Chains A and B, each alone.
Chain A
Amino acid sequence: MSITEHSLVIRSTTKNLDRVRNFVGRHATAASLSPSDVENVKMAVDEACANVIEHAYANESDHVIEITILTFEDRLVVRLRDKGRKFDQETYQEPDLASFVRQKKSGGFGVHLMRKLMDEVEYRHLDGQNETLLIKYRDAS
Chain B
Amino acid sequence: MSEFSVSYRASGDVRILDLNGELDAHTASELESAIEKCKEEDTVRIIVNGKHLVYISSAGLGVFMAFIEELRERGGDIKIAALRPKVYNVFDLLGFPMLFDITDTEEEAVTRFSETTSD
**A residues engaging B (CB < 8 A)?**
14-15, 17-18, 21, 39, 43, 46-47, 50, 53-54, 97-98, 100-102, 104-110, 112-113, 116-117
Contacts and interface: CB of A to CB of B under 8 A. Distances in A.
Contacts of B63: 106
Contacts, number: 77
A17 B24 contact: yes
Contacts of B57: 17, 43, 46-47, 50, 113
Interface of B: 1-3, 22, 24-26, 32, 55, 57-59, 61-63, 65-70, 86, 90, 93-96, 98-99
Contact of A43 (B1, B69, B90): B90
The secondary-structure label for the interface of chain B is helix
A14 to B, nearest CB: 4
B26 A110 contact: no
B69 A50 contact: no
27 contacts: A14-B26, A17-B2, A17-B24, A17-B25, A18-B1, A18-B3, A21-B55, A39-B86, A47-B57, A97-B65, A97-B95, A97-B99, A100-B65, A101-B68, A104-B65, A104-B66, A104-B69, A104-B70, A106-B32, A106-B65, A106-B66, A107-B58, A109-B58, A109-B62, A109-B94, A112-B94, A113-B93
